[in-house]
Structure 1
Amino acid sequence: MKSKPTLFFRNTISRSALGSGLFALALSSFSQAVPVTLWQIGEDKDPYTRNYDSPTADLGDTNYAIDAAPGKVTRLPGDPLYNSTNNPTADDHFYLAGTYPIGFNSLTSQLVVPNAEPAKSYEAYLRNSDPANSIHFILNATQVTSQSRLRLSFELVNGGSYSAPTNGDDFGKHNIEIRFNNTLILQRNGVDRDSRFNIDIPAA
């Protein structure tokens, strides 16, 4: 049996923009000493390294739109459905590799994703006009047990706010909502600085 979870991220405060520099999901069980990384979007960059540029440089920009489900898949060369002249760019729905059935995330036909979408297809910023992102992925039967747990790690960076007549110069305050399979797992109001979060989630 396979589980097809969705992680949903929303910035719920108005007149603001907030960036995300890294998302990673790790799996561990009570018998494992070291968690195993299932997937990672973006690079975990050290701001003190010489070649550090931006925590969001390897991710994509927002398209300033609320994209209806199921969204579109950015495909890589070698994918049978890859079309170099008509390849979708970043939207609100990011797919990891897997086969998604009819009905999942409003799909009207089966969706086959041979490779995870590239990091540039993940919208780095949540804005008023584009306030939410969803990450879709599949767990296999060995990963969904009563002894397994998931740990979601992510960073919120480069916050900003604006109001008439000028834009704010500070990070601003941001209300963040995160759901796993439509179950609320984090709600944090008033985030006002660069922050890293680690959230443990039961896998089963």
Structure 2
Amino acid sequence: MIAKPFPRHLSQRDNVNPHKPEKLTPSSQCSIATFTMLLNWVGDKYSIPDFSKLSEFDMFLVLESISKQKGINQIGSSSTALHAFNSLLDQDKYKAQMVENYGHYLKAVLGEAPSPEKLFDILDKNQCPVWSSTGTTLSKPDGHFICIVGHSNNHIIVNDPYGYYSEKDGKYFNVSGEAVIYNDSLVKRIYEPTAGGRNIIYFKKIF
């Protein structure tokens, strides 16, 4: 399964804090980049220009506003993103457009992937990219977020906002993270049952 249209890749390495735009602040911006990738995909698939043209700069401000409204301390948390996605998707004009043109609208769902098999099942059933936490498997001590765009032969195909993670070398390389393939051994490490489940966000069709 590969999401169609193929989700556009964004890099966190060139991100800035909107309140201090004169300085690059890539640290902790993986959430902003991955959330933007998902909403851009919705815009591209459902012909909603407002979502397609949304930038990481815009997404930062949306998440910041939602976190203040909901009293959530972290603007890049999964809870903040869930509220942000659904506050946009629930707007009447977007719901009406999706229903009229496609017969359904979308709702963002926060779930868990306690195993590779569960992750693959969610990808196959919903045919959409999935935002996922990785715990500290790819980045210590704070963890990392990625946009999973598909899977094949127990591998996952990922738009990684930080580049390419080499399991062999145990580090990231500053190269394009578009459509990188993380093999089955790395997938098992990220989604092993003993990890307690990884937070994921995906889009469910509502008819």
Taking structure 1 as the reference length, the TM-score comes to 0.29
Larger fraction in strand: 1
Larger fraction in helix: 2
Taking structure 2 as the reference length, the TM-score comes to 0.29
